[in-house]
Amino acid sequence: MHRVNIRSSNGFAFLDSLLELLALSVMLPLAAMFYLFSTQFLVELDSSATEFRLFTLELQPYLEGSDRVYLTLKGKGVRIVKGKTVYDIELNGTVIRKRKAGLGHEIMLTDVKGGHFEVEGDRLKIQLEFQSGAKEEADYALSLPD
């Protein structure tokens, strides 16, 4: 008759390795999913898209009720005439800035790599590229007097 010693540690390393392998096979896919989620989250944290949306919202009241809109600086800026007030919005270096009646500049948008403005009939199109590589576009319908 063969005696079984329950307190023996024979085979323990094999079972321990199997359990560790099982735990690892469960954790690795979760780690990969966390990594993919975090990279998407970091992309969404890019402030250039949010800043561009705020810029487009800030620009809209200047265009509403404007008398004339035309390009300046070979498409790097736009001049908006609204009553007796003239607004110049232009790309200068890495910022888009606004100037009212030829006076000081107010920064509207930062970290701009390049871009241009287009006026086609009754539409204003803005295409910008940011330092992060993101590209944004805005299209406005102008209601200019005839």
pLDDT digits (tens, 9 = 90+) for 10-61: 666 777 888 888 888 888 888 888 888 887 777 666 677 788 888 888 888 8
Structure tokens at 38: 């975090």
Largest CA distance in the chain: 111
Please indicate, yes or no, if residue 107 is contained in any of the structural domains. yes
β-strand partners of 117? 126
pTM to 2 decimals? 0.63
Q: Which structural domain, as residue segments, surrounds residue 69?
A: 47-141
Q: Kindly report the length of the chain.
A: 146
Same-domain check for residues 34 and 86: no
Cβ-contact 85, 100 below 8 angstroms: yes
Q: What is the residue-wise DSSP string for 72-87?
A: EGGGTEEEEEETTEEE
Q: What is the pLDDT of residue 11?
A: 60
pLDDT in tens, 85-140: 899 999 988 899 999 888 888 888 888 888 989 988 888 899 999 888 888 888 98
- Contacts of 90 by beta carbon, 8 Å cutoff, 6+ apart: 72, 73, 76, 77, 78, 96, 97, 99
**Same domain? 54 vs 37:** no
C-alpha angle 83-85-71 in degrees, rounded to nearest 5: 95
- Judge if 81 and 108 occupy the same domain: yes
| In a domain? residue 2 | no
Does residue 2 carry a pLDDT above 70?
no
Could you tell me if 25 and 61 lie in one domain? no
